[in-house]
Structures are given as structure tokens and as C-alpha cells.
Structure 1
């Protein structure tokens, strides 16, 4: 454990050097933060450039909720923070998600259904469309892993929703928990193959609302009943481009091709069935299939570093190795959600900033990165914000979570996924 005074001094000097307007109070020292060496937060009088912690609740052993206000040059913003201590062997993280990928639910509902003690909203998602006759799928932009299972892969960068990506980031970036019990920010790519009697070819998508041009994607029971037309719309650089007219869909049940259709379909996919959807060049890969052919499909999400993820959710990095990324937006104020992790991977910080109201102005993405660093995060991602920003937690003596922030829509929005904090008994 680092010496608290030494760490405090280094963080204070670094904050000043960065020119940040965001300082905080941690361990009873005004204007500075001692990282995970201590867990005692203290509230102080509100001053320009400070964070004032206004309330603390012990959600569960190893899980603490705190409310705070932060003063910036733009005004005052209300904030909410969940600190999950993964040093406690009973504290875990996992994906909050509906029953299927192409569906949305409120954070509080998902948390209660999955028995989480706290949670925040997760990735940006396919909430609106301009394609005639094609409805939004409500599925997320980035990868999803839940309880060790690969649920979906990332859409092309040009097909995403949300603010512009900082240089060096992509839709494949994730925040997650490794099988070693440590959280980290990394990325996930799809590794998959389709093998037939005529050879094999690579998969380009898994249960995602947009496939790469010339690609082939696999859709499983996890996708849901939503139409599979949307994955063939847009291009790798233009989300609003027309839907492709060159498509093919192959249904495979128990390893045998049972149907071939020129247009993607809809409806529940049985557990023993997969559907392959191809567009443009991907049609050429599928065109040799015949009814009765045997097909073997393998796929998994692979991380660029070890160990493998037990849980992961999409989000673009804003803090890496203790430094805010270059080119982060420093002007647009909005409600924000972020997930951060300490350098040792053992402390997770889930934060929501309210905004778009007289009592809370929100934050820029650049300010959010600085705020997460001040809490003790070494790496952090930006998650969906605006009306999606939601933080929910159990209150003492309650059996269901309570939404702690003030959603900017006036009520809690249904979202594609979230990060859940669990305490196993």
C-alpha cells in the first residue's frame, strides 16, 4: 500500500499541472484524493473546483454509495458514486441485460430481476433510425459478455451511436471483469468460423444490429425475435446509408441447413438453431449452401490481453494509465455515466452526473475523465449518457433498488444493458 501522504501530494500536483477544475475530498483531506489506500470519504464546504460529498450509504459489505456535488466553471452538478471493493471475495460485477440482446429495460428492473445490489446503465444502443420501414433493434453498440458467455460483438465504428470516438479507440473497447476477479479496460474482437464440406470462412458478426459491408453474421436465440433486416443497412462509414438489396439468410438447425431465403427474416430463433445473414460479398460465401448441408459454426469473443473476461460491456476509454485521452470533448455539457477501475483492478467506481436542469448542469467528457481520476480510477470508460444515465442501489432495509439520480427525461429510460454489482452469499 502506498503512503497516503505521498500519494496525496502526487495527485494534487498532477491535478494542478493538468489545469483541472475538479478536485475532491477523500480521507478527510480537503481538495485532494487519496486513492484506494483508504475508504473514508469526507464532505467539505462547497468551493470552486471542489467535490462535496453530501451523503454516504453502505449498500452491502464492500459496496458503498455516495452522493456529491461538483463545482466547475460551468456551474454546479449533482453526482452519484458507487464504490465496489473487489478485495471482498463476495463482491462481483456482471452484465445487467434483458432476456435477449435486441430489447431494452430500465436499470432498476434489470437490477431487481438479477438481484444486483447496485448498477448503472451501460453502452450506447440502436435507439433511432432513418431507414424507411426499419425499426430500431434496441441492441447495444459494443460487445457483451455475461456470466462468461459471449452474447454479441461490436458494430463497425461508422454504425455506432453516441459522441465521436477519441483517437485510438473503437466500438470494440470494453470495461469488464476478468476471471481473475480484477476489473480492467480492454477490447474484444470476434473470432468465428463457418465450416462446410466446401471449406471454411470467417464470421464478421454476432447478434449485432449492423454487419460490416461484405460480411456474414451469426444470430442465435440470444438475439430475440427482432427482424434481422437492420444488420444489412448502412455501411461501415455511414449509419444512415440505404439497406443492402444483396442479402441472403441461411437457417441451420442442429447443424443442418433447413431453409435458404433471399431476405433476412424475423422471429424467435430456437436454442438448437442459428441463422447466418450475409450482405454483398458475404452472399458469395453463403451462396453455395444447399438444403440438408452440414454446417459447423464456432465463435467467441477474444480479448487482446489476459485473462479472459467473465463480464464485459462496451464503452469508449476516456482515462488510460492515469491520463485523460487526447481529443476528449471539453465543451458539450450533458448527464454522464462512467465506469472506472483502480490500478490494481480491485476498486471499481461507477459514477453518474445529472444534467440538463437548473440544479445540475452536467459535465463534458473531458471533465468526466478528470473526475474519475480524482476518485482513484487509473482507467475509465464513458458509457451512454443523456436520458440514459441512471444509477440505482439498494437502500438499508429495502429489497429493491432505488434510482438515486434524477434522469433527465423526467423518468427512468429503458436501456440495452448495464453494469451490475452483486454480493454473493
Structure 2
């Protein structure tokens, strides 16, 4: 992996920012905004057919923010977008590694995730994301309850089920993916309330597959629908289903990889009581799907809450905390994507969620979502000649943070 920038580019950025503050000239384009300030282009370069990279500067009340932008033309038949992940839902890798392994020409980090567990002694964070995830049409996971999520305060009406997705029609859109599933037993059907997620609803039953990975499933029974820090449930059960029949029973969720084709059911409270009625050898059938609100099924989806709708910032966005941000916007009726990450160099002013919504609207987004920020914010591109993946922004922690997923851009030109 090629490291970002260097001393020359760092000095150039400082000089350009100084020019903006003093009203001096600036090479490159400038776009006027409704507020009277400008988005000033520092540099731009084609990455691949249908994909372009741009650096820009923009004023915020605390100073000059430095951003990195990938513009993706979904109308170009050579271009596709997909979710990158490290082979398991409960696992993490740096964005640059995820992009290099899949051959992506560009990528930004994805959803917020279960990053810490200080409130549950002895329980390790899973690294699994908050929201639904679909990669290449494959359902990876469903959303945790709203009260269990990590990340900034969502605006009114938003939920962990909110996603940015691209349908089989090659058009991007905001959507909401709900889990619909059933566990069929000889005593009758049971509702399925989870799929490969780090937190289950109270009284619920969740399904875990080989896609979950080897991480412990204990975290799924901790907290409540409204309080992430609530104690872990003392009433739990786990059932392993193999070839359509109960193969193992346990009182507590386990850990370790799940064999291909097996299903592990985890229950808490009433869900646990229902699972305990099963016996070894009982027939069990599990079915599930993620149901969206749009007319075309999604081939790709990543969790994130809306910050722009109908070309305007969403009402009720937080305007308090300013930090490094990542977002993805949709333009031109779903034909364009704008992947944006702020620079995390020490001293950068960052943005509030409200300012992020305003920025994404100015960049041309008709709709946009906020993705994980802070130390997770990472934007990478692949050099068309050397094929090396370069981190374009400076992650605020000084190095890339491993993340559970990323939005990957591919161009086959």
C-alpha cells in the first residue's frame, strides 16, 4: 500500500488554505455556494473510466476544511459499486486492504460498528456494523435495534434500517431494509428477529451463519432495545441446526466458526424459552429476507442515516460536535455517486453532521447518508499504472483504522 501525501503536498495544502483565508488566488476550479463561500478545488485526477478523484477546500465557522471526493458515474457500463468486507460480518480490515484484495479502483469506509464494550465486562466487541449489509446481492446481516447502535445522534425519523443502496437497475437510492424471517418447528412458527447482528431485540431469536465468522455471539444478548449499556441477559439459549435438524443445544451463546450450511439460533428472554422447547433431532427450517421499500431489489447496501433528502439537508441534524466525517451522496436521479471523506490532519476543523449535510448538498447530492467518521474516515484510490492503493486522506488516528465494511468502486475499462 502506498502511503498518502508527503511533505510537498502537505505544504501545498497549507499554502492553498492560506490563500483562501486571505482572499488570494487559487489554481483549480471554484464552485459558489448558497452561503456565499466556495468549494475550491486543490487537485483532481481521473482514476479509471467513469471515476474521478478531487481534493477540495471549503470554509466552516472554525476554519478551512479539507475534503477528498470520488465522483462515480453509474451510467458508465464499465462501472460498478459493491460492499467490501473482510470475509466475515464480525471482522475488520483497513479500507486499503479491502480495496486491494477485491481490485477496487477506489473506496471509502462504511457503516458505524460495535467498536467498544467497556460497559459489559468480559464481553469483547465484535467489530460488526450497525445496519443492514448486502454484497453482490448476498444478504450479510440485518440491523441492530436503534438503541444499540454506535455513532452520532440520528435525526428524527431515521433508523438503523436506513441504507444507501444500488439496485439491479444500476441506480442508487436511499432505502430501508427490514428483516422478515421465520423459524419453523413442529410446535409452530417462531418469528426471526435477527441475522448476523451483534445485538438482538429483547425476547428475540437471531440467526447466525458462516458469514458471521468466529467471533463470540454473547454480545447479541447484551443491552436492550433502548439502552446499549444495559446488562447482558441472564436468560439465553443457543441451538445449532444442521441439515434441517437440531444438532446441538446450549444454555449460552458460543463462539467459533460456523460450518457452511449450518445455522445457529440464539435466543434471549422469551426467545430463549421458545428455543429450549426444541430437542436433538427435531426438524427446524429457517427462512429470512431483507425487504426494502423500493421497486427494485438492492444488489448492494450499506447502513447509514440520511443527511440530505431532495437536495436539502435533513431537518434535525446535529450541529454540536465537529469531527472528521465520511458520507456518500446520490445525484442525477441515481446515476451519480459522490464518495467523500474529510482529511484528519491534526488541527483540521472537521464538520458537524449539519455542516456535512450542507456540504453534500453543495457537491450535487439529491440524497446522502452519513457513514462512520473520526478515526474510521478513509478514502483510497488505486493508481492506474502501478496498481498500488493509496490512502488519499490523513486518517485522524495517524494510521488506518480497521473497519467492518467499505463502499468499493470498480471500473472495468
* Rounded Cα–Cα distance in structure 2 between residues aligned with 1:386 and 1:240: 22
Q: Which residue of 2 aligns with 1:10?
A: none
Task: Give a deviation string over 1:197-245, Cα, whole Å, max 9, x none.
Answer: 2211210000000000000000000000111100000000111111101
Q: Which residue of 2 aligns with 1:125?
A: 113
SS at match of 1:344: helix
Structure 1 segment 343-358 matched on structure 2, within 5 A: 343-355=332-344, 357-358=346-347
| 1:342 equivalent among 331, 346, 350 | 331
**Corresponding position: 1:196 with 2:196:** no
Structure 1 segment 338-417 matched on structure 2, within 5 A: 338-355=327-344, 357-358=346-347, 360-417=348-405
Gaps of 5+ in 2: 1-25
* Rounded Cα–Cα distance in structure 2 between residues aligned with 1:131 and 1:293: 34
Cα root mean square deviation, aligned = 1.6
Distance 1:321-1:250 versus aligned 2 partners, 3 A rule: same
* Rounded Cα–Cα distance in structure 2 between residues aligned with 1:411 and 1:176: 28
* Rounded Cα–Cα distance in structure 2 between residues aligned with 1:95 and 1:69: 28
Task: Give a deviation string over 1:307-344, Cα, whole Å, max 9, x none.
Answer: 11000000000111112111111231100000010141
The answer to whether the 8 Å contact 1:356/1:362 transfers is no
Distance 1:378-1:48 versus aligned 2 partners, 3 A rule: closer
Q: How far 1:187 sits from its partner (Å)?
A: 0.8
The answer to whether the 8 Å contact 1:335/1:356 transfers is no
The answer to whether the 8 Å contact 1:334/1:356 transfers is no
SS at match of 1:105: coil
**Corresponding position: 1:116 with 2:104:** yes
> Where do 4+ consecutive residues of structure 1 move more than 6 Å?
none
| 2:206 equivalent among 217, 226, 245 | 217
**Corresponding position: 1:106 with 2:106:** no
* Rounded Cα–Cα distance in structure 2 between residues aligned with 1:331 and 1:48: 22
Q: Which residue of 2 aligns with 1:150?
A: 139
Q: How far 1:355 sits from its partner (Å)?
A: 4.0
Q: Which residue of 1 aligns with 2:14?
A: none
Distance 1:30-1:278 versus aligned 2 partners, 3 A rule: closer
The answer to whether the 8 Å contact 1:58/1:64 transfers is yes
Q: How far 1:283 sits from its partner (Å)?
A: 1.5
The two structures have a TM-score, normalised by structure 1, of 0.88
SS at match of 1:79: strand
| 1:284 equivalent among 261, 273, 288 | 273
* Rounded Cα–Cα distance in structure 2 between residues aligned with 1:356 and 1:136: 27
Distance 1:146-1:83 versus aligned 2 partners, 3 A rule: same
* Rounded Cα–Cα distance in structure 2 between residues aligned with 1:90 and 1:270: 36
SS at match of 2:45: strand
Q: How far 1:29 sits from its partner (Å)?
A: 6.9
Structure 1 segment 292-371 matched on structure 2, within 5 A: 292-355=281-344, 357-358=346-347, 360-371=348-359
The two structures have a TM-score, normalised by structure 2, of 0.91
Task: Give a deviation string over 1:95-124, Cα, whole Å, max 9, x none.
Answer: 011110000000000000111100000000
Q: How far 1:306 sits from its partner (Å)?
A: 1.5
Count of paired positions: 386
| 2:63 equivalent among 67, 75, 78 | 75
The answer to whether the 8 Å contact 2:29/2:40 transfers is no
Task: Give a deviation string over 1:231-289, Cα, whole Å, max 9, x none.
Answer: 00000011111110100100001111011111111111001211000000101321221
Distance 1:367-1:260 versus aligned 2 partners, 3 A rule: same
Gaps of 5+ in 1: 1-24, 34-46
Task: Give a deviation string over 1:387-423, Cα, whole Å, max 9, x none.
Answer: 0000000124121210000100001110111100011
Q: How far 1:424 sits from its partner (Å)?
A: 3.2
